[in-house]
Amino acid sequence: MPTQSNSKKTNVLIAITISTITMLVNTNAYTADAVAINAFNDTNHVHSGDAITVTSFALPSSYSNNPNFNYSAWGDTGSWYTFMNHDVTDVTVSVLGDTNLAPGITVWATGGSEFDGGTTAFGFETSTAGFFLTPASFNATGVIGNTGTLWMADGAGGNTIETLGYAVSGPTHLNSTAATGWGENIVTGAHDVSLTNTFENGVTGNTTANSVSLSFNNLASGWYTVYVGGTDHSLVGGDFNLVVSAVPETETWAMLLAGLGLVGWRLKKQQKELNVATA
Nearest to 225 by CA among 80, 126, 10: 80
Q: How many CA atoms lie within 13 A of 145 on its CB side?
A: 7
For residue 9, tell me if it sits in a domain: no
Position 255 scores a pLDDT of 47
Sign of the CA dihedral with 197 first, then 195, 107, and 237 last: negative
Mean pLDDT of the chain: 85
More confidently predicted of 251 and 77: 77
For residue 1, tell me if it sits in a domain: no
For residue 82, tell me if it sits in a domain: yes
Q: How many CB atoms lie within 10 A of CB 248?
A: 13
- 66: containing domain: 34-273
* Residue 262 in this model has a pLDDT that exceeds 80: no
For residue 2, tell me if it sits in a domain: no
Residue 133 belongs to domain with CATH number: 2.60.120.380
Position 250 scores a pLDDT of 54
Instruction: Note the pTM of the prediction, 2 decimals.
Output: 0.80
Sign of the CA dihedral with 170 first, then 176, 177, and 181 last: positive
Average pLDDT over residues 250-255: 49
Tell me the C-alpha to C-alpha distance, in Å, between residue 180 and each of 138, 150, 216, 253.
11, 17, 28, 40
Average pLDDT over residues 145-169: 97
Position 11 scores a pLDDT of 38
Position 32 scores a pLDDT of 76
Q: Which amino acid is at 34?
A: A
Give the pLDDT confidence of 23-37 residue by residue, as tens digits: 333 334 456 799 999
More confidently predicted of 32 and 129: 129
For residue 61, tell me if it sits in a domain: yes
Position 274 scores a pLDDT of 47
For residue 3, tell me if it sits in a domain: no
For residue 11, tell me if it sits in a domain: no
DSSP letter (8 states) at residue 26: H
User: Is the distance from CB of 161 to CB of 154 less than 8 angstroms?
Assistant: yes
* Residue 256 in this model has a pLDDT that exceeds 50: no
Number of domains comprising the chain: 1
With a CB cutoff of 8 Å and minimum separation 6, the contacts of 216 are 90, 91, 92, 93, 107, 164, 165, 199, 200, 202, 203
Q: Which of helix, strand or coil describes residue 32? A: coil
For residue 109, tell me if it sits in a domain: yes
